[in-house]
Amino acid sequence: MARVIRGEGGSLQQRGELLFKQGNYQGALDAFTEALSCKDADVMSILDNRAATYIKLARYDRALIDSRNMVRKDTKDGRGILRYGQVLLLTGDRVKALKAYGYGLKTLPNDNPRRKFVLQMFCKVRDAASVKRLDPFSVLPLEIAMMVLRHLSFREIVTYTRVSKGWQSFLSMRDLWMRLDLSEARRKASWRSIRTYIQRSGAMLTHATISNIASQSQDKVLVYLSRCPKLESLEIGDPIRRHEGLYNQFEGCKQLRSLVIAKGTPVSQENIAKFLSNLPNLEHLEVHNAQPSAETKVQWPSHLPNMRKVTLSTEEAAVQPPGRVNALYLPPVTESQPCVMPNLEELRIDSYPKVWSPYELSFDPNQFPRLRKLELKGVFIGGFALPSTLEHLSIQAGSCPGEQEFPFPFRRSPHLRHLHTLLLRDLSWVTRTTLHTFIVTTEAPLRKLIVASCPRLDYAQLEHLLTEHPIDLTELGICALRGVTDMSVRALVQHLPNLYALDVSVTDVTGRLVKMFADARPADNLPRLKYLNVAHCEHVLYEAVAYGRSHNINVVTR
């Protein structure tokens, strides 16, 4: 190392400053570092210069070290405080920067010329922090604040009432409490909490989702809800202990348009008929634990013009003894009785008895002239044609007479020219002929096709059909389909340029398939997937899943 002579420190410092002005920050850094080793070095100035150079190089950790060393060397100088605060602000730590400037104000004497700059920076950081803490509800116009609040969930509104008394007062406006939703509650809610929420709405509650209620509070909560004259939507998620009296509590809610009762609460056919008879505005009914009733007690209304959507589910036996009405009963059309629900658009029937046997429908779906969506689970398929108005058809775990390949007889026109969604799951009668009839004979313009766990159908049959009769699918599911591999999927989707969702769960695909879609380019003739389901695919490792997700594909693994 060359012998350092007196005066060399100042020369190196001047050289570093010149290089700094020229933008050669690495050269300036080397010069300042060498200058610090000189005997005559102005350590405070050189450290300040080197910290500024580190800032230009975005090496904030080193700049912090130099600025702290400046403060330790001379607390009365002020330059160390200013540089230290600057670096903290650049790293986003405003709290520490404010403390640093405050420390400088305490240690620097009043006659120090740099004290004025420290005070300016202290005030600037403090004022910026105080602006961020402004109460938004005191700044925003009422109309804009209400627009923001309407995007909050019920749980978030309840949480924000605990921020301050001012927020609690502002958030007590009646319009914010018209919808009661306890589905996201972390703890069991008491009847006192529910009463408070209803009081804030002025007893004008319109929507209520009841779940996570303390069992001892159930009776009072149901009473409070039944006294809300404007109640339009009621969803009961908790199992109701005294379910026999549920109808009596809500028979007076004449404004009710939507009623959903979850699986934990049994509802008999007798009470289903009573609900429909006494709630004239009801448009949406879901009962997920329907129960059979004595035939003499079931009296369905003769006309329900407002009903648009019905869901009935049960675990009860599909065949009931004489004199009993099945849990999934809907009145059929007869010579003396026209269609009870002429405007029904969506219908779902789920039968999953403990001892399985298919349920035979008590009605013909064709009796609903506006039916758009039909979902059948555990139902005996046969004897009825598919309505030509259908847009969505889902059939799961059903049987048909003689294992016919297309058990729906054609009446009048065979066309289903509105059917865009077809889901077939756990069906032993589905074959290539079944799909051929849907795609070719009925001329269904399918956009979504799900074929899952259908043992008489394999990949080769499906590929041959879609190659011979191409359709513009955007969603495809081939869950648990025989013969599905990486290469077979590639060959299949090349005929589907607009596909964005693919389900290959429970198949033999590997992580190569995920990477293939992630790396797809226009020249590869592969669709750009947004969703890929690889659940229960043993050969798809986590590395491939992470790779797909990093390329904006939502890879589902369970």
pLDDT in tens, 423-472: 999 999 999 999 999 999 999 999 999 999 999 999 899 999 998 998 99
154 and 64 share one domain: no
pLDDT in tens, 181-191: 888 888 888 89
For residue 119, being part of any structural domain is answered with yes
Please check the confidence at residue 501 and state whether its pLDDT lies above 50.
yes
Q: Is 253 helix (H, G, I), strand (E, B) or coil?
A: coil
Per the CB < 8 A criterion, the answer to whether 44 and 73 are in contact is yes
Please check the confidence at residue 518 and state whether its pLDDT lies above 90.
yes
Between CA 426 and CA 480 the distance in angstroms is 10
543 and 517 share one domain: yes
Q: pLDDT value at position 451?
A: 96
For residue 505, being part of any structural domain is answered with yes
For residue 25, being part of any structural domain is answered with yes
Residue that is written with structure tokens 């450290």 in the block: 47
Taking residue 502's Cβ as centre, other Cβ atoms within 10 Å add up to 26
Q: pLDDT value at position 12?
A: 87
97 and 20 share one domain: yes
For residue 551, being part of any structural domain is answered with yes
117 and 84 share one domain: yes
Q: pLDDT value at position 7?
A: 61
What average pLDDT does this structure show over 78-96?
A: 90
52 and 153 share one domain: no
Q: What is the CA radius of gyration of the chain?
A: 36
170 and 69 share one domain: no
CATH code: domain of residue 511: 3.80.10.10
Between CA 395 and CA 375 the distance in angstroms is 6
What average pLDDT does this structure show over 125-142?
A: 73
- Please give the backbone phi and psi of residue 297, each rounded to the nearest 5 degrees, phi first: -95, -10
For residue 547, being part of any structural domain is answered with yes
For residue 541, being part of any structural domain is answered with yes
Please check the confidence at residue 164 and state whether its pLDDT lies above 90.
no
Q: pLDDT value at position 436?
A: 93
Final residue before a domain boundary, out of 129, 154, 188: 129
Final residue before a domain boundary, out of 121, 147, 175: 175
Between CA 220 and CA 215 the distance in angstroms is 10
Q: pLDDT value at position 1?
A: 34
pLDDT in tens, 23-52: 899 999 999 998 888 887 888 999 999 999
- Residue 423 in tokens: 């889901």
Between CA 408 and CA 382 the distance in angstroms is 6
Please check the confidence at residue 415 and state whether its pLDDT lies above 80.
yes
Q: Which of 285, 270, 393 is nearest to 326 (CA)?
A: 270
Q: pLDDT value at position 6?
A: 41
Considering its fold, how many domains does the chain have in total? 3
Final residue before a domain boundary, out of 151, 175, 199: 175
68 and 103 share one domain: yes
Q: Is 297 helix (H, G, I), strand (E, B) or coil?
A: helix
89 and 152 share one domain: no
CATH code: domain of residue 30: 1.25.40.10
Q: pLDDT value at position 2?
A: 39
Q: pLDDT value at position 448?
A: 97
pLDDT in tens, 258-313: 999 999 999 999 999 999 999 989 999 999 999 999 999 999 999 999 999 999 99
pTM over 0.95: no
For residue 120, being part of any structural domain is answered with yes
- Residue 92 in tokens: 């986003």
Q: pLDDT value at position 130?
A: 63
Q: pLDDT value at position 383?
A: 78
| Domain, as residue range, for 492 | 458-557
Question: Cα-Cα-Cα-Cα dihedral of 107, 110, 116, 121, to 10°?
Answer: 30
For 10-68, what is the HEC assignment?
Answer: HHHHHHHHHHHHCCCHHHHHHHHHHHCCCCCCCHHHHHHHHHHHHHHCCCHHHHHHHHH
Please check the confidence at residue 58 and state whether its pLDDT lies above 50.
yes
144 and 113 share one domain: no
Per the CB < 8 A criterion, the answer to whether 521 and 544 are in contact is no
Please check the confidence at residue 389 and state whether its pLDDT lies above 70.
yes
Please check the confidence at residue 135 and state whether its pLDDT lies above 80.
no
Q: Which of 452, 518, 512 is nearest to 480 (CA)?
A: 452
121 and 141 share one domain: no
What average pLDDT does this structure show over 103-127?
A: 88
111 and 148 share one domain: no
Q: pLDDT value at position 245?
A: 84
Q: pLDDT value at position 3?
A: 41
For residue 371, being part of any structural domain is answered with no
Going from the C-alpha of 480 to that of each of 272, 406, 452, 455, 494, the distances in angstroms are 38, 21, 6, 9, 21
Per the CB < 8 A criterion, the answer to whether 363 and 334 are in contact is no
14 and 75 share one domain: yes
- Residue 28 in tokens: 């300036």
What average pLDDT does this structure show over 220-224?
A: 91
Average pLDDT, the chain: 89
pLDDT > 70 fraction of the chain, expressed in percent and rounded: 97
Q: pLDDT value at position 313?
A: 96
Question: Cα-Cα-Cα-Cα dihedral of 127, 130, 135, 141, to 10°?
Answer: 10
Please check the confidence at residue 133 and state whether its pLDDT lies above 70.
no
Between CA 204 and CA 202 the distance in angstroms is 5
